[in-house]
Amino acid sequence: MLAWRFHQTGPIENLQPEEVPLPEPGPGEALVRIHYAALNPADRYLVQGQYPRAAKPPFTPGRDACGVIEQPAAAGRLPKGTRVVLLGGDTGIATPGALAQYAAIPEQWLAPLPEGWREEEGAAAPLVALTAWQGLVDRGALQPGETVLITGASGGVGTAAVILAKALGARVFALSRSTEKRQQLEKLGADATFDSEAEDLEKQIKAAAGDQPPSLIIENLGGPYLQRCITMAGYGARIMVIGLLAGLKSEVQIGLLIHKCLRIQGMSVSSYTAEEAQKAFKGIVETLQKCGDPWPIDKIFTPAQPYEAFAHLDSGPLGKVLVDFRK
């Protein structure tokens, strides 16, 4: 079969399509014929050797996919031919991932493709939607009517957070550096959008929020944005630290943190157990039924284009970047 594989950690060019033997499913694993896989920044960190718990090369990354059960797990619940989505686990981190024509995946981390979903959406949504769900619901305890501020809102996690927060009844403020993407975020449900690089961003947020400043912040950027979020947060707000695209380190004003009684919480979608991920995914599917819009997918690449696909992910797409492994 064809798989994207790297033999040495380093630049993304190390990831190349190559012919490899079909994976042999172990106990509790199903063999899945992958139809679509989605890219995540974590795949790049893995190739670069910057991801904790990663397997040693040669290795195939890929944590998001939709496909069909080719060989069911022994005594499993999902029969041959079931269309499935991948919800996480060690696949693409410690065991070979889904950027391939086939993957052996523990059945507990698979869910049937939800009714009414296209296969492309089944590959695009799970990891980012589960991440956003953990930040909004499981850790963020979002209540309807709250103001949610989302940094890096045009990305995979960001768009998922915009869609889900809106469907859960929040007022949504979304940040992006691009005018065009801010317009698209409003179409996805953001009540107001802001330029993340505006010098007076904090003032703009204060004016737009009125007497309801952000009480929950989904923070995808890190670097200087953590302190900017502290300034924009209302009294007692929760700041969910999810990503670090703008920098690994932040300097924060501790006085403000104390004065506003803020809670800053790191969170990781990988902390979900299989049972928790299945429960969260059920919540996501039910919540999305209320909005009914298609999941944002930016571009679909062929298996011959690993470098182009990751370059596109780096360029700041709106929504997900997929690879079509059907051929």
Q: Does 49 bind ligand NAP (CB under 6 A)?
A: no
Q: Which is nearer to ligand NAP, 100 or 242 (CB)?
A: 242
Which residue in 23, 41, 72, 76 binds ligand NAP (CB under 6 A)? 41
Which residue in 42, 93, 190, 309 binds ligand NAP (CB under 6 A)? 42
CB of 187 to ligand NAP, least distance (A): 14
Q: Which is nearer to ligand NAP, 212 or 268 (CB)?
A: 268
Residues 186-215 that bind ligand NAP (CB under 6 A): 196
Q: Does 34 bind ligand NAP (CB under 6 A)?
A: no
Q: Does 155 bind ligand NAP (CB under 6 A)?
A: yes
Place of tokens 């007022």: 171
Whole-angstrom distance, CA of residue 25 vs CA of residue 38: 22
Q: Does 158 bind ligand NAP (CB under 6 A)?
A: yes
Place of tokens 């998001």: 64
The letter for the amino acid at 126 is P
Whole-angstrom distance, CA of residue 243 vs CA of residue 42: 10
Strand residues in the chain grouped as ranges (E): 2-5, 16-19, 29-38, 64-71, 83-86, 102-106, 110-112, 147-150, 171-176, 192-195, 216-219, 238-241, 263-266, 297-301, 320-324
Q: Are 17 and 54 in contact (CB under 8 A)?
A: no
Q: Does 97 bind ligand NAP (CB under 6 A)?
A: no
Q: Does 177 bind ligand NAP (CB under 6 A)?
A: yes
Residues 223-282 that bind ligand NAP (CB under 6 A): 242-246, 267-269
Stretch that binds ligand NAP, among 11-19, 52-60, 148-156, 289-297 (CB under 6 A): 148-156
Q: Which is nearer to ligand NAP, 84 or 157 (CB)?
A: 157
Strand residues in 157-196 grouped as ranges (E): 171-176, 192-195
Determine if the peptide bond prior to 23 is cis (ω within 30°).
no
Distances in whole angstroms, Cα of residue 213 to Cα of each of 119, 145, 176, 208: 38, 11, 19, 9
Q: Does 91 bind ligand NAP (CB under 6 A)?
A: no
Number of residues this chain uses to bind ligand NAP (CB under 6 A): 28
Whole-angstrom distance, CA of residue 148 vs CA of residue 142: 9
CB of 323 to ligand NAP, least distance (A): 15
Q: Does 176 bind ligand NAP (CB under 6 A)?
A: yes
CB of 20 to ligand NAP, least distance (A): 26
CB of 238 to ligand NAP, least distance (A): 15
Which of these, 324, 296, 96, 103, lies nearest to 186 by C-alpha position? 296
CB of 311 to ligand NAP, least distance (A): 12
CB of 45 to ligand NAP, least distance (A): 7
Query: Could you count the other beta carbons within 10 Å of the beta carbon of residue 207?
Result: 9
CB of 50 to ligand NAP, least distance (A): 10
Contacts to ligand NAP by CB under 6 A: 40-42, 128, 131, 152, 154-158, 176-178, 181, 196, 220-221, 242-246, 267-269, 313, 316
